[in-house]
Amino acid sequence: MSVRTRADLAALPGYVPGRTVPGAVKLASNEVSLGPLPSVVAAIAEAAGQVNRYPDSGATAVVAELAARLGVRESQVSVGCGSVTLCQQLVQATCGESDVVVFPWRSFEAYPIITQVVGAQQVRVPLTAGHELDVEAIVAAVTPRTRLVFVCTPNNPTGTALTAEQLDRVVSAVPSDVLVVIDEAYREFVDDPAIPDGVEYAKASWAHGRDNVAVLRTFSKAYGLAGLRVGYLVASEEVTEVVRKVFVPFGVNAVAQAAAVASLRAQDELLERCREIVAERTRVREALLGMGFDVPPSQANFVWLPLGERTAEFNEHCMAHKVVVRAFAGDGARVTIGTAAENDQFLAAAADFPS
């Protein structure tokens, strides 16, 4: 007799990580190409010597460092095993089986999977023809059953970001008992002054009695700690309190906590790397536009090529040129901005793609 499991899981697509191919340049997972700074490696090594002890379950050193830098109370910060885990906790903390999570689509691949795993309902709101979040359609999708709205800005995988006006439109239209989660995994790569800082935006919202605005950020992208799994939530206390109730004990390991604190202390140097990636983003996008590709403006550390039916062919073509990109079949390819040399290798492959 086979084990009886949840029938709905049979239809659940697995999360597809970017491929790692020996000998090829990996531009598939929005990681930064450079390794951790020496000060961060030293903190990791020191923490490694104490792993016989359980980690600090509340990640208090990380929380204290973040709260001080962001100008919020420690009780308004929650740390998780990657921000993807916090996404899951947010859905668990807000939704029962008939409740609905609204999110843009295409967007972060984990939203539909997490929502189904938790057992809640989902509404995917298509992007605009310009590959942007469709603010009016998101507002229109919210019903009395909606408990949570994910707003991914800059959006993964299209790179487009919401202006303060667009964010206001969502936040002011959504009832104040529906949680709006601004997923800012790529905030550190934003250089357009029209794009608001989500944490500042949330703080201003709370000051106006809008406690339903929350922000997710991660150490995986700009801070270069993808392999250690640390992310954080900045939210009102009523939200952080319930998010903590659904956490997995000791979910953020001790090495990750030490690395996160060391990375915050080396923030200036890490953010300088981000500025270089932003300059490369501009160079790569302009080169692609020059080759005739359609590339929406990106505020993240990747660019989006909406190749539609030619996506799989482009993917194989890049692979043959030893460049791994992230293809979403039938839709488009997302290409992470790497070092100048890696980007050149990708651009050479793209230039050779038959038009």
Ligand X SMILES: *Cc1c(COP(=O)(O)O)cnc(C)c1O
Radius of gyration of the chain (CA): 20
Q: What are phi and psi of 199, to 5 degrees?
A: -70, -45
- Span near ligand X by CB under 6 A; candidates 78-86, 129-137, 197-205, 250-258: 78-86
DSSP lists the bridge partners of residue 215 as 182, 234
Among 175, 154, 179, 178, residue whose Cα is nearest residue 166 = 154
Instruction: Please report whether residue 166 would count as binding ligand X according to CB under 6 A.
Output: no
Q: Is 205 in the site for ligand X (CB under 6 A)?
A: no
| Residue whose C-alpha is closest to residue 83's, from 226, 277, 253 | 226
Q: 25-64 mask for ligand X (x: CB under 6 A)?
A: -----x----------------------------------
User: 318 CB contacts (<8 Å, ≥6 apart)?
Assistant: 324, 325, 333, 346, 349, 350
Choose which of 79, 135, 162, 185 interacts with ligand X (CB under 6 A): 185
Q: Which is nearer to ligand X, 185 or 190 (CB)?
A: 185
CA nearest to 17, candidates 69, 82, 101: 82
Nearer to ligand X, 187 or 285 (CB): 187
Distance between CA atoms of residues 14 and 274, nearest Å: 31
| Listed ranges 80-88, 91-99, 263-271, 276-284: which one lies at the site for ligand X (CB under 6 A) | 80-88
Q: Is 156 in the site for ligand X (CB under 6 A)?
A: yes
84 binds ligand X (CB under 6 A): yes
Rounded Cα–Cα distance for residues 128 and 115 (Å)? 23
Stretch that binds ligand X, among 40-48, 76-84, 267-275, 309-317 (CB under 6 A): 76-84
Among 104, 224, 231, 296, binds ligand X (CB under 6 A): 231
Binding residues for ligand X (CB under 6 A): 30, 82-84, 108, 152, 156, 183, 185, 218, 220, 226, 231
